[in-house]
Amino acid sequence: MTDLAIRCSEAHVSYFVRTNRQLIRSVIRGQKPEIRVIEAVKGVTFDVNVGESVGLIGPNGSGKTSLLQAMTGLLPLNKGEVLVKSVPTFLGVQAVLRPQLTGWRNIQLGLLAQGLSKSEAENMTGSVADFCELGDFLDLPMETFSSGMKARLHFAVATALAPDILLIDEALAVGDRSFQKKSSERLEEHRAKAGTILLVSHNLEEVRQSCQRVIWLEGGVIVADGPANDVIEAYEAS
């Protein structure tokens, strides 16, 4: 029997966008603050086993990111539930650690933030830095990094401790070819050691390479869930 890493049952995620939160308008013009409820995920059910790597595909606005965010608890579920083996690590494109500090210091802070002690963090810094392959750039403040360089460092920090569950939201797309290869190798290695990966990507080739299973999400519901090749073919045909 395989162990369950994620169980998502009837998950509904919606978030509020208060287009107008300003009191003055609502008082003077008599406009009610507009609260738009966006139902991003409307009842999604699936299980992911330990050691599986699953791709999430679908057009923009189909609820992929919202689903991942709900899994880490960043967005609340308003119906259903998500059970996980341990709290997933979320890897997105927008994240910056501390822009004014150097790459080296950001690596150390990233490791400390994950609960390592000072000496543990110092011991690991070297190997994380090697993985980034950023050389002397690590001596510069992170605000001077290109988006690809940030993504490298970020990926290296987030995967350094081999989290049980890794949620990746388009984070590999900004890296160059060699880094994409390197990162997908690390993911494969990680998956083999009982890690679980959920990968959101629009690069179907990347998904085909890294995932055996693919979930196709559209309009907040699952359209198809099955072996990578079958689902991707169906998606491309649609």
52-60, 71-79, 172-180, 221-229 -> range binding another protein (CB under 8 A): 71-79
Measured between alpha carbons, how far is residue 53 from residues 39, 84, 148 in Å?
Answer: 26, 15, 24
Of 79, 118, 181, 202, the one binding another protein (CB under 8 A) is 118
CA pair distance 157, 97, nearest whole angstrom: 10
Q: Given the complex with another protein, which of 91 and 228 has the nearer CB atom? A: 91
Q: At what angle do helices 177-192 and 147-160 cross, to 10 degrees?
A: 10
Mapped onto helix, strand or coil, the DSSP state of residue 133 is coil
CB of 81 to another protein, least distance (A): 6
Non-local CB neighbours of 74 within 8 Å, separated by 6+ positions: 90
Are 214 and 232 within 8 A, CB to CB? yes
186 counts as binding another protein under rule CB under 8 A: no
Contacting another protein within 207-236 (CB under 8 A): none
Residue 139 carries which DSSP code? G
Q: Count other Cβ atoms within 10 Å, centred on residue 94.
A: 10
Of 58, 110, 175, 220, the one binding another protein (CB under 8 A) is 110
Binding flags for another protein, 138-177, as an x/- string (CB under 8 A): ----------------x--xx-------------------
Are 105 and 98 within 8 A, CB to CB? yes
Which residue has tokens 């629009």?
202
CB of 21 to another protein, least distance (A): 8
Q: Given the complex with another protein, which of 145 and 235 has the nearer CB atom? A: 145
92 counts as binding another protein under rule CB under 8 A: yes
Q: Count other Cβ atoms within 10 Å, centred on residue 101.
A: 15
CB of 221 to another protein, least distance (A): 20
Pair of tokens at residue 182: 């390197």
109-117, 127-135, 207-215, 226-234 -> range binding another protein (CB under 8 A): 109-117
| DSSP bridge partners of 81 | 9
94 counts as binding another protein under rule CB under 8 A: yes
Non-local CB neighbours of 202 within 8 Å, separated by 6+ positions: 57, 170, 173
Of 25, 42, 97, 137, the one binding another protein (CB under 8 A) is 97
CB of 47 to another protein, least distance (A): 11
Q: Given the complex with another protein, which of 107 and 134 has the nearer CB atom? A: 107
Binding site for another protein (CB under 8 A): 3-4, 7, 15, 17, 69-77, 81-92, 94-98, 100-101, 105, 108-110, 112-118, 121, 154, 157-158
